[in-house]
């Protein structure tokens, strides 16, 4: 039997507990892979009560999680209490969220879990507690390093309709321009190709590389970045034997016919990638971190404090993240 998925609690005041409970309740209907939640059992029980959900919880060890999954939602305690109320993060929020992530990575590294699935975190809450990373992606890379050199983490947003990767991630547009380089585009694309082969089962992934400027720069008349930075990266990738096109005008890359011509769009900055996928596949897109020695997926949305504890949270993206994590882990084994 495959090992279960390790699901982190995320921000305890957000919708992570809500969508976790909702996903488990649909486990039979959707034939979901076994998973366990890393967090505070008392906090999850309180959220189930708030939502009026009759969910049996089982506080278990990691080794007991798969056997418990059918009859109860397995919860592996991290030892960190979470006292935050729905929509109201408190002083326990950051410790509870970070302990859950650390334990999930440790469980996968120890072979106790097959993949990490993360519930949404509130970065502003973590920053106030001294968290120094831009987000999950960079923190996971540090945990993966285990004292050595950290791998380059690559953020992919994946759905059946579209997969996108931003070369620069959680930085301002000004900083994205400063960071963008031929080498960064090449290293990012190589990681995408390697993981799409190893974990998505694609023998020859097709990449479409977006230009940075409007109309991909119009041969330099709208900026030289596409000529001097992006086009050389595409040439290098082509020489690697990768099926790649670009730089392409980003305003014509994402309509239905265009999406059929590639497996992943490599974009130059965050919103160039995330706006199209969240328009096309908001409810079932999955955040995937490539370039790590383990599989990690996450819903593509945030903590949604305004609806936490109301029963309005949609678990679709978490369900998609659980399914994709199981699929990727199986392909990697």
Q: Which distant-in-sequence residues (6+ apart) come within 8 Å of 188 by Cβ?
A: 152, 154, 165, 167, 266
Number of domains in the chain: 2
274 and 305 housed in the same domain: no
68 and 121 housed in the same domain: yes
Predicted structure pTM score: 0.92
Only one residue has tokens 């039979």, namely 28
Alpha helices in the chain (DSSP H): 16-25, 27-30, 41-51, 65-68, 93-109, 123-128, 136-145, 173-179, 182-200, 225, 231-239, 256-259, 270-280, 316-332
2 and 141 housed in the same domain: yes
Classify residue 288: in a domain, yes or no.
Answer: no
Mean pLDDT of the residues in the chain = 94
**Bridge partners of residue 297, in order along the sequence:** 117, 288
Instruction: Find out whether 112 is annotated in a ligand binding site.
Output: no
183 and 137 housed in the same domain: no
262 and 330 housed in the same domain: no
Instruction: Find out whether 137 is annotated in a ligand binding site.
Output: yes
4 and 46 housed in the same domain: yes
Distance CA 169, CA 290 (A): 13
pLDDT tens track for 70-108: 999 999 999 999 999 999 999 899 999 999 999 999 999
Alpha helices in 241-308 (DSSP H): 256-259, 270-280
Q: How confident is the model at residue 147 (pLDDT cuts 50, 70, 90)?
A: low
What percent of the chain clears pLDDT 90, i.e. is strictly above it?
A: 84
Instruction: Find out whether 255 is annotated in a ligand binding site.
Output: no
265 and 323 housed in the same domain: no
What percent of the chain clears pLDDT 70, i.e. is strictly above it?
A: 99
Distance CA 125, CA 138 (A): 17
Classify residue 104: in a domain, yes or no.
Answer: yes
Answer for the pair 164, 273: CB distance below 8 angstroms, yes or no. yes
6 and 69 housed in the same domain: yes
According to the model, what pLDDT value does residue 332 have?
81
Q: Which distant-in-sequence residues (6+ apart) come within 8 Å of 195 by Cβ?
A: 154, 290, 291
Classify residue 285: in a domain, yes or no.
Answer: no
User: Which residue segment(s) compose the domain that 193 sits in?
Assistant: 161-280
Answer for the pair 288, 324: CB distance below 8 angstroms, yes or no. yes
18 and 111 housed in the same domain: yes
2 and 116 housed in the same domain: yes
Classify residue 287: in a domain, yes or no.
Answer: no
Classify residue 176: in a domain, yes or no.
Answer: yes
129 has pLDDT over 90: no
pLDDT tens track for 192-236: 999 999 999 999 999 999 999 999 988 889 989 999 999 999 999
117 and 23 housed in the same domain: yes
Element (H, E) at 153: none
Classify residue 35: in a domain, yes or no.
Answer: yes
179 has pLDDT over 60: yes
232 and 321 housed in the same domain: no
Instruction: Find out whether 301 is annotated in a ligand binding site.
Output: no
Instruction: Find out whether 133 is annotated in a ligand binding site.
Output: no
CATH code assigned at 145: 3.40.718.10
According to the model, what pLDDT value does residue 122 have?
87
Q: What is the mean pLDDT of residues 61-69?
A: 95
According to the model, what pLDDT value does residue 1 have?
56
């Amino acid at each position: 039997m495959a090992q279960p998925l390790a699901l982190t609690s995320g921000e305890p005041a957000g919708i992570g507990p809500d969508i976790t409970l909702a996903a488990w309740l649909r486990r039979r209907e959707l034939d979901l892979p076994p998973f366990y939640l890393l967090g505070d059992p008392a906090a999850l029980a309180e959220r189930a009560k708030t939502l009026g959900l009759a969910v049996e919880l089982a506080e278990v060890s990691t080794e007991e999680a798969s056997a418990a999954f059918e009859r109860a939602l397995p919860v592996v305690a991290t030892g960190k209490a979470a006292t935050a109320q729905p929509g109201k993060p408190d002083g326990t929020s950051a410790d509870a969220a970070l302990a859950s992530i650390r334990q999930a990575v440790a469980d996968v590294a120890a072979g106790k879990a097959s993949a990490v699935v993360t519930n949404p975190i509130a970065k502003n809450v973590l920053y106030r507690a001294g968290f120094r990373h831009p987000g999950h992606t960079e923190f996971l890379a540090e945990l993966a390093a285990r004292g050595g050199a950290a791998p380059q983490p690559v953020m992919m947003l994946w759905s059946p309709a579209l997969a996108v990767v931003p070369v620069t991630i959680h930085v301002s547009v000004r900083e994205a321009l400063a960071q963008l380089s031929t080498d960064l585009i090449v290293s990012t694309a190589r990681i995408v190709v390697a993981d799409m082969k190893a974990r998505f089962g694609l023998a020859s992934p097709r990449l479409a590389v977006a230009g940075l400027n409007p109309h991909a720069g119009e041969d330099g008349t709208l900026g030289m970045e596409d000529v001097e930075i992006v086009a050389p990266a595409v040439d290098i990738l082509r020489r690697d034997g990768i099926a790649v096109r670009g730089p392409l005008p980003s305003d014509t890359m994402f309509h239905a016919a265009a999406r059929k011509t590639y497996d992943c769009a490599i974009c130059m900055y965050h919103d160039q990638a995330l706006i199209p996928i969240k328009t096309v596949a908001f409810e079932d897109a999955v955040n995937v971190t490539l370039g790590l020695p383990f599989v990690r997926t996450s819903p593509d949305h945030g903590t949604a404090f305004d609806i936490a504890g109301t029963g309005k949270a949609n678990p679709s993206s978490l369900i998609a993240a659980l399914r994709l994590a199981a699929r990727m882990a199986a392909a990697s084994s």
